[in-house]
Amino acid sequence: MTTRQPDGWHTLTTRVVATDPERLVQFLRDVFHDVGDFRPDRPAEMRIGDSVLMVSGADERSPFPAFLYIYVDDADAVYRRALAKSATSLEEPMDTPYGDRRAMVRDSWGNVWQIATRGADVADEASPGR
């Protein structure tokens, strides 16, 4: 079977275009404990859990932020780390009716992060996308 993407990548990959992408890469490493490095000659490939987030510099393109929903082990701890790294709180951690503990922040590049931890006793049909 022919694959259409590199090994370890999903079919759909998010890409953020930012001014000062090196600083954004460091923010991602500090807040989400991402794995990946800034590369001035190509997009950074940041590994967050089982996903890849590409980060590019706004050289030939205009900055283009994203709205991202991210599952983490501890939404409260990640929320606090984001605020410590200059993110702005949009929503303090709370329990949602669909079983996620969720908070929301905006980083210095305009990206909005909904940071969630899934409740252990929640059925899959209660997912936030439904």
CATH code for the domain of 74: 3.10.180.10
- Is the Cα dihedral 59, 20, 29, 103 positive or negative? negative
pTM over 0.75: yes
| pLDDT mean over 16-34 | 95
Query: For residue range 4-15, what is the model confidence (pLDDT) as tens digits?
Result: 777 777 778 899
Instruction: Quote the number of domains for the chain.
Output: 1
C-beta of residue 120 within 8 angstroms of C-beta of residue 77? no
Inside any domain, residue 81: yes
- What pLDDT, on the 0 to 100 scale, is given for residue 12? 83
Query: What pLDDT was estimated at residue 130?
Result: 44
For 78-87, the pLDDT digits (tens) are 999 999 999 9
Domain that holds residue 42: 14-122
Instruction: Give domain status of residue 2, yes or no.
Output: no
Residue 67 within any structural domain of the chain: yes
100-106 and 112-118 beta bridge pairing: antiparallel
Is 46 a domain residue? yes
- 34 falls within a domain: yes
